[in-house]
Structures are given as C-alpha cells and as structure tokens.
Structure 1
Amino acid sequence: MTGDDCASALSRLYEFLDQELESADADEIRHHLAACEPCLDTFDAEEALKRLVRRGCSGEAAPEHLRAKVLSVIQRSVTVEVRKI
C-alpha cells in the first residue's frame, strides 16, 4: 500500500461508513481495508464512534431553533465557483 492509497481510502471513509458510495468505490475501499491494518484500525475506531453517537442521540430530535440555525450556517457556508471556459 502506498500513502496515496491510504489517503484516498481515508478521504472517503465517512461516505463508506454511511453507505453513500457507488458499489465499485465501496469495493475498492473494502479491498484496501482488508489489506491495510492501519486504515482498518482507523475504520474500526470511526465505526465505533458512529455507533456510540447513534446510540447516545437516538430518540431525541434537535430543537427547531437549533435545526434552523444549523441549516442557516450551512446555507451561508456553501460556496459555488463558476469558471468561464
């Protein structure tokens, strides 16, 4: 494994954990994790953290004012760059 392989796999780790990748991309990461113990350790830790957060936060919805504030910040922070060719 090269550092580039690890960087690529880890940069898409959250998408992999959330099952947001195309099957070919998920297979690529799955294959990398099977062959790379340091990345597998990172995956295991992130997966455990995600389970812990899910368990601690399930059943409670955020107050509406907090949801509105978070959405407002997200909307303001999205930047779209348009380039003329």
Structure 2
Amino acid sequence: MACGDPAERADSESRCSEVLRDVWKFLDDEMDPDNRAKVQQHLDECSPCLEEAGLERKLKELLHRKCGGDRAPDHLRQRVVASLQVTVTTVRVTRGE
C-alpha cells in the first residue's frame, strides 16, 4: 500500500508497513504517546492504511464480543490449578529445592 506523493512512494510504503505492523499495539493503546501520535497522524493522512486499520479494529471488536466474556468452567479451572501445583512440586523436588 502506498500513500502520499508518488515521488515519495518507497518511503511511504515503508511507513505504511511500519504502521500496519504496529496497528494491534495502536488499537490496544499499548504504544508510548509519541509513537501513538505518529501512527495516528499517518492513519489520518493515508486512506489505505486507515481502511486496513479499520478492518483490524472491526475484527478485534468482533473477537472481543464473541470470545471476551467466556470463562472456563469451575471444574476445569480446578483441574488445571491442581495440575500446575503438581508440576511445580515435581520441579522443586527434582531440583532439590
């Protein structure tokens, strides 16, 4: 995807790749303020990247709605915790702790 002036296409494509690589961090608000501002500015100026980011956001929202509230049944959680405790105990015994 390219944006901006065709004379700057190589630089634009590189910046687009960087923005799209980090779009999940941007959507999750996991970027420092300076980088977030740079990504926001790029998305404001580059309609192909904005479109791509919008699709990513919609997919993330859909996944959150469909999978975000699921919780493992209590009996499964208890089995997993018990199994982890046995594993930790076994590792400690093996290491001589």
TM-score (ref. length: structure 2): 0.62
Match for 1:45: what amino acid? L
1:49 aligns with 59
Structure 1: distance between partners of 2:32 and 2:62:
26
Q: Secondary structure at the match of 2:38?
A: helix
Q: Secondary structure at the match of 1:20?
A: coil
Q: Structure 1 unaligned runs (5+)? A: 69-85
1:17-75 Cα distance to aligned partner (Å, 9 max, x none):
1110000000000000000000000000000001101110132124545xx9xxxxxxx
Structure 2: distance between partners of 1:16 and 1:33:
11
Q: Structure 2 unaligned runs (5+)? A: 5-11, 84-97
1:28 aligns with 38
Structure 1 stretches of at least 4 aligned residues deviating more than 4 Å after TM superposition: 62-65
In the alignment of these two chains, the number of paired residues is 66
- Larger Rg, first or second structure (1 or 2): 2
TM-score (ref. length: structure 1): 0.70
Percent identical pairs in the alignment equals: 30
Structure 2: distance between partners of 1:45 and 1:61:
27
Q: Secondary structure at the match of 1:40?
A: helix
Shift of residue 11, structure 1, vs aligned partner: 1.1
Tell me which protein shows more helix as a share of its residues.
2
